[in-house]
Chains A and B, each alone.
Chain A
Amino acid sequence: MSTPRGIGRVDTLVGCPLLTALPLRVLQALAPRFEATELDTGDLLFEIGGRSASLFIVEKGDLELEGPGKSVGRVSRGGVLCEEDVLRPGIHKTRARATSPSLVLSMDEQTLNNLWAIEPASAAFLQLAIGSRLITELRRANTQFVSLCEMPIDEVENTGMRRILKVSSDSDLESG
């Protein structure tokens, strides 16, 4: 069972790669905005299908990420989860389970929105850090998308893609 345990600590934020470039005074302003939660081994931080609107930073311990029926990754101290969802809430596609006693900091969408109203500079630097990470991910995803599109034709044989491309091409011809 997870237990709320107070607020975040500056030294945890300093050690988090996502936030490492932020000025200390910004981290000092952000720390009390994070909520800290203790997890025992086996506790769930979040479950597949649950609403996702919080950013998580692991302060202590380890968590395993599980997709349907399989492990998809692990995060430990300094690791960040769901940074995108604090900007654009969604649904959890994985569950996160503590594999050792853990402490996790979180900030939800509402807290970030409130921060914009009361400490806009701190909110801006956090948003910039998250935005920068999203861009890195977007560039990686774009590259992946192009590589898929450039897959050699012999690897595309006998797949559903052939049929879809054919239909699309015929429609284009019909339309003009």
Chain B
Amino acid sequence: MPSMNTTFPLLGDLTAQEQQGFLRTLVQTRHEPEEILFREGDPGDYMLLILEGNLRLSRLAPSAEEVRLADLGPGDVVGEMAVLSPAPRSATATCLSETTVAWLSRDNLLERLVLEDRAAGILLRLSTEQVSNRLAAVRTRIELLRKALSGESSTESDAELEELIRAEAGPIAENLRKWLESR
């Protein structure tokens, strides 16, 4: 049995007991290290809630090299965007250790929303909030890059962009570095 102490930020202010009640209603599966849960390009219409263990999200760079995007653990969620808007997976999820996940498909979420399941409602609200925050962050980054590329940058925007380049992992940082290397 996975630890029932895991709590999920995406389940908001539900008590630990309410969260566990919700998680018990989902299908749970256990996986071995190195097992792949889904691959980049696979159709995606479900999310996984990590109850135990660790997953790595990675994708293939144009050079065919595997690029690590993130390592996730208990309490993290993978694929929430696919539940809101099904699309091919943008990354591959591989177990780093023995891992237990709970599955929530789009159809299951919709059924729960019709039945006014509180946990499903909270999950939806916080997921869309997260998407909205991500969108705002990407737009800020685009604006910073545009300003820098057009020579309109200020000391303030320069500092924000430096921070972005430092914080950015994986292919984006790699691309930005290429600009430097190709001088």
Contact = CB atoms under 8 A, between A and B. Distances in A.
Contact of A145 (B85, B133, B172): B172
B135 A137 contact: yes
**B interface, size bucket:** 35 or more
Interface stretch (B14-22, B23-31, B46-54, B143-151): B143-151
A120 B116 contact: yes
A153 B127 CA distance: 37
Nearest to A120: B116
Contact of A88 (B84, B120, B132, B145): B132
A169 B133 contact: no
B89 to A, nearest CB: 12
A160 B85 contact: no
Contacts of B172: 145-146, 149
Given A160-B153, A167-B162, A168-B165, A134 B148 contact: no
A156 B181 CA distance: 13
A1 interface: no
Interface in B33-75: none
Contacts of B148: 159-161, 164
A80 to B, nearest CB: 15
Contacts, number: 132
Given A153-B182, A165-B165, A135 B84 contact: yes
A141 B84 contact: no
Contact of A160 (B134, B149, B171, B175): B149
Nearest to A163: B158
Contact of A128 (B113, B180, B182): B113
A176 to B, nearest CB: 12
A31 to B, nearest CB: 19
A91 to B, nearest CB: 12
B142 A124 contact: no
Contact of A149 (B118, B128, B145, B166): B145
A147 to B, nearest CB: 10
A142 B113 contact: no
Interface string A151-173: 10101101111111111110110
A131 to B, nearest CB: 4
A164 B124 contact: no
A132 interface: yes
Most chain A CB atoms below 10 A, which of B113, B131, B152, B176: B131
Contacts of A139: 87
Nearest to A150: B175
A156 B175 CA distance: 12
Given A87-B129, A116-B121, A153-B182, 17 more contacts: A88-B129, A123-B121, A124-B124, A131-B127, A132-B85, A134-B132, A134-B135, A135-B131, A137-B135, A141-B142, A145-B142, A148-B142, A158-B151, A159-B148, A163-B158, A167-B158, A169-B180
12 contacts: A84-B132, A87-B129, A88-B129, A121-B113, A131-B128, A132-B84, A135-B87, A135-B131, A136-B85, A153-B179, A155-B149, A171-B166
Interface of A: 84, 87-88, 116, 120-121, 123-125, 127-128, 130-132, 134-139, 141-142, 144-146, 148-151, 153, 155-156, 158-169, 171-172
Nearest 7 CB-CB pairs, A to B?
A131-B128, A149-B175, A124-B113, A135-B85, A161-B148, A160-B153, A132-B85
